[in-house]
Structure 1
Amino acid sequence: MAPPWKSSDTDAPATTEVDTGDVVDENSPIPSAPPAHLTARDTVYEVDVAIVEEDESTTKNSSVLDDEPVNAIITTREYGQKGRGAAKEWAIKRTIGEGALSSYHSISERTSKSEAASVEEPSEKIADLKPPEPGRLRLLSGITASFEPGTMTALMGSSGAGKSTLLDVLAGYKTGGHIQGKININGHPKTDQSWQAIVGYCEQVDLHNPAMTVRESLVFAARMRLRPYSIQDSAKIEFAGKIIKLLDLNEFADMLVGDEASGEGLPKHARKRLTVGVELASNPSILFADEPTSGLDSLSASVVVASLERAARQEGLTVVCTIHQPSRSVFESFDNLLLLRKGGVCVYNGKIANLDQYMQSAPNGEEYAMPDEVNPADHILEVFCGPFGEKQDWADLFRKSDMATAASKSFDSCGCSYCQGGEICVDSHSQSFMSELYIVFQRQMLAHWRTPTYMAIRFWWTVIANIMTGAIYFQASTKSDNAVTNTTNIIGAIFFYVNIGTMSIMSAVVPLISERAVFYREIASGTYRKAVYGLAVQLAELPFNVGCAIISFVIFYFMVGLKLEGERIGYFVLMAIGTNWIMPTFGQLFAFLSPNIGAAVGYGALSQMVFTLTMGFLIPPSDIPPWFIWIYWINPLRYILQGMVSNEIGGSPEGDQILNALSWSFDDRWWYCLAAVAMFGIAGGVGILAATRISWLQR
């Protein structure tokens, strides 16, 4: 049988009717995903650039990313005296937040430090397309395309052509820049309310919680994303099992995902299929995949693409993938090709079966015929985007072709049956707020439990630090014959006890920063509400904080020899729990506020020092500088220390005398407790607000 690019069928891409078979059986309460015909017209994407004097430009020594530049600097040369036109030389500096994805992207692997890039100037060559405004650089130049249900479309092009940029724009994942154009679903304008529910987006980087198994990851995604809300959990679990079978993940189903950087857990090809599976768990109509074969050998790449092909053929999904240097077998899996050259200019958009005849129909087309012995993908890139491309204006040839006309007509009215059914309407959320909170809380708890280093650090620090403090202040309440000396020693012991609890501020930062990329992916896909995550990570700390508080109480309280009275013991335990819960909350707050782990740790260390200095013990409140006194009033450690000390030494002549000297009071100990709770509530509330309002991800 002839390969698909050798087909003699030269017609423009026609509408294809597909059988959208259910993922589950006929009696399943989970309905089939509605077919979605995605069409886009005149898609333009531009980014703001800074114009600098040529002698100050770093163009010639700048690094250039392979794709989707975010920020750019262009030289004044050939820009014009009034800043009009397009620059020919520019440098790109990608500005992804380090805390978000720095641990997953290796910039050095995607850059070339010795070359500058030459940008096409499509605005001067493409008819009916206005040139970009001064200070903007155009990365996509009026792309019009049609993506049909049950088909697989490959987005290809040379490095820097805008493949991933186009995919992000179509999927609605761009967080910056200026987007123009229209996107329709089944002939109706795209709406934000339903978009997240009908779209799956497979990131190029496989972002999963390493402490979960494959099955747990898919069940979590199904429970959180399957709509409608009325679907029972048992059906969602069954649905996840069907996905495992569909993607041939049975042998990995109960294996922990693991940390890819350390080489633990799933092999690369299984991670890629899990990435696809997590998106399929939402039962989408459209599936976008950003270079799903990157980092894989040819065999593994074929396995991953075969999984995508099964999803398209069996479930009727509209599958759109960016592909870089595919093998012959991978390339043959696709039905359609959308090919871009640098500058985001479309040079081919149609069936792969028509490629060979299309190339030969060009002037001197015999030069472009597809050789049997070469990889067709390599040949296509060489013809359209390489040396051959300089001999032929493929962009102009495509604009005059039947394919371009068909793509434009399909946007207005394609006439297919699945576009006659009307707009796709779905629920905005698949779970209630409380259900989401419970499920995310469960996962966070399980992740903590399966992370030995997290558990070990908290446990051993609590044990060792309290044993050392207890040994130094052993039986401090009765060690001296002088009651004032004993009381002073007790205050010192409690001061160090409170400071031991502050170390948890650091332990709370690392896991939150480490899983930030997963959080951003799940938020972008509508897995749960942002506030749910902010609250769940705080609640997930509670059991461990209570455990550490009880351990520290048992060691410290009896070694130091504090009073064995029921009310005093109960108060001390309550404040101990507060100490071990308040400080991790501050750590989580700093994690949400910080662009990366270095900044978060720095904020944590600084706050730890400032809180310790302004507790009112090392420095009396009257000696704290006026511009720092506000910290004393909002310092939660101050209220915890005052409460614990007042609870222990209050009620005795010597103790009351010292409390009066410190302006503390035994009668106010419960007010101190309420103040500490208030500080905790404020820190927790600000942390949740930060989780909902601050994002360090830039695309």
Structure 2
Amino acid sequence: MLEVTAPAVETQLDVDFADIYQNSSLYQRNQELIKELSTPAPGSKDLYFPTKYSQPFPVQCKACFWKMHWSYWRNPQYNAIRFFTTIVIGVLLGLIFWQKAQQTAQQQDLMNLLGAMYAVVLFLGTTNASVVRFVVAIERTVFYRERAAGMYSELPYAFAQVAIETVYVAIQTFIYTLLLFSMIGFKWKVETFIWFCYCILMCFIYFTMYDMMVVALTPGPQIAVIVMSFFLGFWNLFSGFLIPRPQIPIWWRWYYWASPMAWTLYGLVTSQVGDKNANLILPGYGTMPLKKFLKDDFGFEYDFHLAVTAAHVGWVLLFFVVFTYGIKFLNFQRR
């Protein structure tokens, strides 16, 4: 049939099968049948569905979270690398900065302790951001197919992905915190331990969600690596350790507050040593209260805790919202 009805064959035969069909009785019968089937029966109503999806929003969230749970549980390579890296980095940093929190009499001792907090935030935070992108990219491909089938909307999927990551990050934070808090030698006080856990937990969450957000906004993991590395360099530079905030040029100082790492380092330092009034020995300058030294040289104020808490929540919510909207409005699927 395809050979006979090809344009070249029709030209040879001098026949137009389309005209023959339109002038046939079969065509007339088909048109009458289409008109009959297109006319609704008396008393009938238009087909209507009260919602776009078959299940309500809470059920979608539950189903997506359960799906993500099994997806992560059946990916032991990713989880094993995550926890193995946590233990290795925690032990190494603990040994390198062994009991440094007990030595804050000299300026160099204090700088060593600040370096320990800076390393605690940087090493594992960037590691989390580096490994999650491949998992998110694979899950996004599955999401495209299931969303096209009308199984669930974008928000339950984003909620489930963030929720399951938060669960694993919380376990990771607990292991990491126990190792470092004891090995570096911080004081075992409920308030300081909770603050340490909070800052580390929120730090790991926003690092992870930052990479998830970048993956949602880019076509693939390769481009995501370039974008993520570019901004992580600025986060690191303006974290307040390499260049303290009072020494940053005034026209660049705004970016200090736009660096999530700066807020985490601020919270860790002030919560652990920011309330100490013991004298700090400054070579060539005599002594100065430790609390005053942190304020004058680094801009760290102990009474800034509430702002630090709110800033961490704000960064997490920002990355979550952008990740959700990126998943919703950007589709990089190729057929």
Give the TM-score band, short-chain normalised: 0.7 to 0.9
Match of 2:315, as an amino acid? M
> Aligned partners of 1:593, 1:570: CA distance in 2, in Å?
34
CA shift, 1:546, in A, is 0.1
> Aligned partners of 1:570, 1:659: CA distance in 2, in Å?
21
Higher strand share: 1
> Aligned partners of 2:253, 2:226: CA distance in 1, in Å?
22
Alignment of 1:250-649 (within 5 A): 380-385=1-6, 388=9, 391=12, 393-414=16-37, 422-428=45-51, 429-478=53-102, 482-499=105-122, 500-624=124-248, 628-649=252-273
The answer to whether the 8 Å contact 1:462/1:552 transfers is yes
CA shift, 1:389, in A, is 5.7
Q: Taking structure 1 as reference, are residues 544 and 431 closer, same or farther at Cα in structure 2, changes over 3 Å only? A: same
CA shift, 1:578, in A, is 0.8
> Aligned partners of 2:142, 2:26: CA distance in 1, in Å?
39
CA shift, 1:577, in A, is 1.1
> Aligned partners of 1:403, 1:471: CA distance in 2, in Å?
87
Q: Show CA shifts across 1:423-445 (max 9, x none).
A: 33333232221221111111112
Instruction: Determine if the alignment matches structure 1 residue 657 to structure 2 residue 292.
Output: yes
Alignment of 1:141-290 (within 5 A): none
CA shift, 1:624, in A, is 4.0
Alignment of 1:38-117 (within 5 A): none
Match of 1:657, as an amino acid? K
The answer to whether the 8 Å contact 2:130/2:211 transfers is yes
Q: Taking structure 1 as reference, are residues 381 and 627 closer, same or farther at Cα in structure 2, changes over 3 Å only? A: farther
> Aligned partners of 2:104, 2:331: CA distance in 1, in Å?
59
> Aligned partners of 2:30, 2:292: CA distance in 1, in Å?
87
The answer to whether the 8 Å contact 2:246/2:298 transfers is no
CA shift, 1:541, in A, is 0.9
> Aligned partners of 1:650, 1:548: CA distance in 2, in Å?
26
The answer to whether the 8 Å contact 1:487/1:649 transfers is no
The answer to whether the 8 Å contact 2:274/2:301 transfers is yes
From 658, 670, 694, the equivalent of 2:306 is 670
Q: Show CA shifts across 1:486-520 (max 9, x none).
A: 22211101101101223212222222211223212
| Greater RCO, CA 8 A, separation 6+ | 2
> Aligned partners of 1:503, 1:445: CA distance in 2, in Å?
22
For the residue of structure 2 that corresponds to 1:431, the secondary structure is coil
Tell me which residue corresponds to 1:680.
316
For the residue of structure 1 that corresponds to 2:151, the secondary structure is coil
CA RMSD, Structure 1 to Structure 2 (Å): 2.7
Higher helix share: 2
Match of 2:172, as an amino acid? C
The answer to whether the 8 Å contact 2:274/2:300 transfers is no
Match of 2:308, as an amino acid? Y
> Aligned partners of 1:503, 1:666: CA distance in 2, in Å?
29
For the residue of structure 2 that corresponds to 1:477, the secondary structure is helix
Q: Show CA shifts across 1:284-318 (max 9, x none).
A: xxxxxxxxxxxxxxxxxxxxxxxxxxxxxxxxxxx
Percent identity over the alignment is 24
> Aligned partners of 2:25, 2:128: CA distance in 1, in Å?
65
Report the count of equivalent residues: 319
Unaligned residue ranges in structure 2 (runs of 5+): 281-289
Match of 2:32, as an amino acid? K
For the residue of structure 2 that corresponds to 1:617, the secondary structure is coil
The answer to whether the 8 Å contact 1:615/1:632 transfers is yes
Match of 1:659, as an amino acid? L
> Aligned partners of 2:42, 2:234: CA distance in 1, in Å?
63
Tell me which residue corresponds to 1:349.
none
The answer to whether the 8 Å contact 2:94/2:184 transfers is yes
TM-score (norm 2): 0.85
For the residue of structure 1 that corresponds to 2:114, the secondary structure is helix
Q: Taking structure 1 as reference, are residues 406 and 391 closer, same or farther at Cα in structure 2, changes over 3 Å only? A: farther
The answer to whether the 8 Å contact 1:476/1:486 transfers is yes
The answer to whether the 8 Å contact 1:636/1:680 transfers is no
Match of 1:696, as an amino acid? F
Unaligned residue ranges in structure 1 (runs of 5+): 1-379
> Aligned partners of 1:564, 1:418: CA distance in 2, in Å?
78
> Aligned partners of 1:697, 1:419: CA distance in 2, in Å?
44
> Aligned partners of 1:696, 1:629: CA distance in 2, in Å?
36
> Aligned partners of 1:420, 1:427: CA distance in 2, in Å?
20
Match of 1:427, as an amino acid? P
Match of 1:670, as an amino acid? L
For the residue of structure 2 that corresponds to 1:382, the secondary structure is coil
Q: Taking structure 1 as reference, are residues 642 and 407 closer, same or farther at Cα in structure 2, changes over 3 Å only? A: farther
The answer to whether the 8 Å contact 2:3/2:9 transfers is yes
CA shift, 1:687, in A, is 1.9
Q: Taking structure 1 as reference, are residues 510 and 385 closer, same or farther at Cα in structure 2, changes over 3 Å only? A: farther
CA shift, 1:418, in A, is 8.8
Runs of 4+ in 1 over 6 A off after TM superposition: 415-420
Q: Show CA shifts across 1:429-467 (max 9, x none).
A: 322212211111111121111111221221122121222
CA shift, 1:381, in A, is 3.4
CA shift, 1:647, in A, is 1.1
> Aligned partners of 2:251, 2:151: CA distance in 1, in Å?
44
Q: Taking structure 1 as reference, are residues 424 and 561 closer, same or farther at Cα in structure 2, changes over 3 Å only? A: same
For the residue of structure 2 that corresponds to 1:474, the secondary structure is coil
